[in-house]
Structure 1
Amino acid sequence: MALYVHWPFCVSKCPYCDFNSHVRAEIDNAAWRDALLSDLAHEAALNERRVLGSIFFGGGTPSLMPPAIVSALIDAAARRWTLAPGIEITLEANPSSVEAARFADLAAAGVNRVSLGLQSLEDEALHFLGRAHDVREGLAALDVAQSVFDRVNFDLIYARPGQSETDWEAELARGLSLGTGHLSLYQLTIEPGTRFATLAAQGKLTPADPDHGATLYEMTQAMTQAAGLPAYEISNHARPGEESRHNLTYWRYGDYAGIGPGAHGRRAGMATLRHRKPENWISAVSRNGHGLQSEEVLDAASKGREALLMGLRLAEGVDLDRIARLAERQVEQLVDEGAIARLAALGLLRREGPRLRVTPAGMLLLDAILPEIVTV
């Protein structure tokens, strides 16, 4: 199984971000360490004798965590679970010089993979995206990360307003030249409740045209494939063997425990959810010994639906026989075979025995394809 740890705090809120992140003037680090350890202990007691394949510190900005807290959580996980040989331990980080200065201590704590939020390799775009770093600082942090951690990923956001094909081609080519084994490449989306959503509603921000976004997506697939980092998920690209094992647990519908504010989990057929607001979560831990807001037993149909929706994001697709067992249904009750045949004839899906996958052309239309074929 996998473990997700959520650190909800950021220095500032980015205008495109709808994640569970919060800005606080002061943080009681000792209280947060103790609360996270209590939340972890609760999950460990419910998942005894499990092997832990990955740990992921997400946020928020977990690179703002004192390395001593990261170390304490990794040590606690090692005591309470069996760690798989070569366990992947990832931490998300902002590429500021202050946070990069902590990388060696984080590596000493046990982190062996970092995911850097570079977001762009153009200073003007970084300013637009509300990022505190500039390109020079970001690349310096990347250099430090590559010298300290075994594996490195960085994020880029494209299909920004006014970004041309030539602009993105040059930026992506530069990104591919930097030598990381994993890239997360996301199109800018305007999420409800964000600053960008407000600006768009006021007519002060015009999102990229969807057709233009599709062109940039196709360019992205071709360039990453040619560079030896093919897409293994709709927005994630890696050299073979450097895929995110933690995220593959989600997409392959494995078990994972989630601790910290707003963290979700899936364990032993249960959907778990922690209190979202930091103050509510830490109060719940103080009161109950854990931060759980809800635990829900998933029925078989829900498990089958979730496994399909997650798995079809992957280039490898899904094993329909496995999902049928999860859903306690026949394959014919999970998917619309007629719709699959029609979409396969259009080159959007491929069916090979029990394996169903969305083709690269189909990934562009994934949101439209899923309701057409998933019937469970």
Structure 2
Amino acid sequence: MTDLALYIHWPFCVAKCPYCDFNSHVREAVDQDRWRAALLADLAHEAGLTRGRSIGSIFFGGGTPSLMPPATVAALLDAAAGQWAFAPDIEITLEANPSSVEAARFADLAAAGVNRVSLGLQSFDDAALRFLGRAHDAAEGLAALATAQASFARVSFDLIYALPGQTIAAWDAQLAHALAFGTEHLSLYQLTVERGTRFATDATAGRLRLPDADHAADLFELTRARTAAAGLPAYETSNHARPGAESRHNLTYWRYGEYLGVGPGAHGRRGGLATQRRKKPENWLAAVDRNGHGIEAETLLTPHERATEALLMGLRLTEGVDLARIAALAGGVAPVDAAAVARLARLGLVACDDERLRVTGAGALLLDAILPEVVTDETVTA
């Protein structure tokens, strides 16, 4: 049986970024003792349902987990180690913002057991950072990156591109700067407008105009070429790593492994069940106080639903999906439209043999359009 992944959600941020649709909240004060106790209780509930399993990765996401007291991180890791066996090479990641206050905690977070940090730099340009609503400036971000590289065995950082008015030359310079630091992993995201965000309001009002599709495609192709030449090829739509340095935790999602979700709004997949925690922090806390866990819903997935989820996640990966495994999840035949696959293969957008289906580099530009064509709504029969 494969290792589980464990996700722990910390929902609080200093401010809400205008592009962010994650489950993040701003609160004037946080009762740290109560939150630590509640997270430990939610974790213990998941442990009671997965006795005898081992954990291969732990991911502290948010929100801004670097706002967590290191003592809380240590308590959660100690509790997890007491409930599950840890894989010898367990990956323990924490998302961090690059403020000087949070960077000052990096050494203590490393001492608590975190061995990988994902740093939300987002840009090296002060004007871009102001546009993105970030609280740090470029100099502070660079200082935090230096501290992270001195504190953690493994470092990744995020950048956002395809900003309004961003030229090919400007993004090329940002990429060259990013690659010069020698980190093992980069997450490079095109700016998108998500519902419910301030940017969505601005776009509707005509105050925000993103680059057109052709320009965004040029930026995407440049990103792929630059990172590949530097030895960090894309292994997922927006993620690039040296071979062997991929995020093992995120690969569990994309390869449709089992993972446990703890904390407000966290999702999980275990034993064929889709689990979902209550989203609003106060509602989650009340549920933990009442029930000993924050679960809002547990849904038994049908074989078709599981196979479809595995396809939608796995086709984001450069390696693609194992069609025999997808068929096994579906209970017979993979929910793949063979005619659509053949047509897209002739166009060079997907590649398929008897064992694997994958989206090509050219197809990655059109992934959102390809997925609904390839994945059928109902299981097809032979």
Aligned to 1:280: 283
User: Which among 30, 33, 39 is matched to residue 30 of structure 1?
Assistant: 33
User: Which among 202, 216, 219 is matched to residue 213 of structure 1?
Assistant: 216
Structure 2 distance, partners of 1:371, 1:16, is: 25
Aligned to 1:83: 86
Aligned to 2:336: 335
Structure 2 distance, partners of 1:62, 1:54, is: 16
The answer to whether 1:190 aligns with 2:193 is yes
Where do 5+ consecutive residues of structure 2 fail to align?
none
Aligned to 1:8: 11
Displacement of 1:336 in angstroms is: 1.3
Aligned to 1:43: 46
Displacement of 1:135 in angstroms is: 0.7
Displacement of 1:73 in angstroms is: 0.4
Structure 1 distance, partners of 2:97, 2:290, is: 33
The one-letter code matched in structure 2 to 1:322 is R
Aligned to 1:266: 269
Structure 1 distance, partners of 2:182, 2:137, is: 20
The one-letter code matched in structure 1 to 2:369 is A
Q: TM-score, normalised by structure 2?
A: 0.97
The one-letter code matched in structure 1 to 2:345 is A
Aligned to 1:350: 351
**Identity across the alignment (%):** 70
Aligned to 2:21: 18
Displacement of 1:17 in angstroms is: 0.5
Structure 1 segments of 4+ aligned residues over 6 angstroms from their partners: none
Instruction: Please provide the CA RMSD for this pair.
Output: 0.6
Structure 1 distance, partners of 2:33, 2:174, is: 42
User: Which among 109, 114, 125 is matched to residue 112 of structure 2?
Assistant: 109
Aligned to 2:183: 180
Aligned to 2:370: 369
The answer to whether 1:290 aligns with 2:307 is no
Structure 2 distance, partners of 1:210, 1:323, is: 32
The answer to whether 1:141 aligns with 2:144 is yes
Aligned to 2:129: 126
Structure 2 distance, partners of 1:191, 1:337, is: 32
Displacement of 1:204 in angstroms is: 1.2
Aligned to 2:257: 254
Structure 1 distance, partners of 2:145, 2:182, is: 10
Equivalent pairs, count: 374
The one-letter code matched in structure 1 to 2:7 is Y
Aligned to 1:200: 203
Displacement of 1:329 in angstroms is: 2.0
Structure 2 distance, partners of 1:373, 1:201, is: 31
The answer to whether 1:321 aligns with 2:324 is yes
Displacement of 1:353 in angstroms is: 2.0
| 1:126-161 deviation digits (Å, cap 9, x = unpaired) | 000000111111011000100110100000000000
3-state SS of 1:132 partner: coil
Displacement of 1:216 in angstroms is: 0.3
Q: TM-score, normalised by structure 1?
A: 0.99
The one-letter code matched in structure 2 to 1:291 is G
Where do 5+ consecutive residues of structure 1 fail to align?
none
The one-letter code matched in structure 2 to 1:347 is G
Displacement of 1:60 in angstroms is: 0.2
Structure 2 distance, partners of 1:318, 1:18, is: 28
Moved more, 198-207 or 40-49: 198-207
The one-letter code matched in structure 2 to 1:369 is I
The one-letter code matched in structure 2 to 1:57 is F
| 1:58-91 deviation digits (Å, cap 9, x = unpaired) | 0000000000000000010000001000100000
Aligned to 1:52: 55
3-state SS of 1:117 partner: strand
The one-letter code matched in structure 1 to 2:359 is V
Structure 2 distance, partners of 1:16, 1:271, is: 27
Structure 2 distance, partners of 1:258, 1:352, is: 35
Aligned to 2:236: 233
The one-letter code matched in structure 2 to 1:29 is Q
Structure 1 distance, partners of 2:285, 2:299, is: 21
User: Which among 62, 68, 73 is matched to residue 76 of structure 2?
Assistant: 73
Structure 1 distance, partners of 2:319, 2:213, is: 26
